[in-house]
Homo-oligomer: A and B are copies of this chain.
Amino acid sequence: MADKWNKIEIGAIGSVPRVELKESLGLTGCEVSFNKLEAGHASPFVHHHRNNEETYLVLSGTGEFWLDGEIVEVHEGSCLKIAPETARSLRASPESALTYICIQAEKGSLKNYTRTDGIIDKDITAW
């Protein structure tokens, strides 16, 4: 089953500070984490990456990124791509916790997607 598909349950979104999925789900193309910063809290350090592009998806709350010294405000529905070499940090606003997903994938690794990678199984009916 784990070869064909795998499932885990992380519970209510935002119920824990961080859940990393790669090891538990057996991901091989990306790392995905669910994250929650409490109101007024910041990520504990500035960091960048060697090869991985990061995509941040803000699910709720408000906050701001620090990106090589630039301040970028975020809220529900804000989606960011951050290049590997860009130094980054993140903090929740004093008023609200910030919940977000972070995806790491190797820069330049995606060759095809959706219409050029997906194949419709016309002869199969699921429902």
Chain B residues contacting A117 (CB-CB under 8 Å) are: 49-52, 104
Are A27 and B55 in touch, CB under 8 angstroms? Answer: yes
Are B118 and A49 in touch, CB under 8 angstroms? Answer: yes
Task: Give CA–CA (A52, B112) in the complex, Å.
Answer: 8
Copy count, this protein chain:
2
Knowing A20-B114, A66-B126 are in contact, say whether A5-B81 is a contact too (CB < 8 A): yes
Q: Mark A7-36, 1 if CB is under 8 A from B, else 0.
A: 111111100000011100111111110100
Q: What residues of chain A have their CB less than 8 Å away from a CB belonging to chain B? A: 1, 3-13, 20-22, 25-32, 34, 42, 45-53, 55, 57, 59, 65-68, 70, 72, 74, 76-83, 85-89, 91, 101, 103-114, 117-122, 124-127
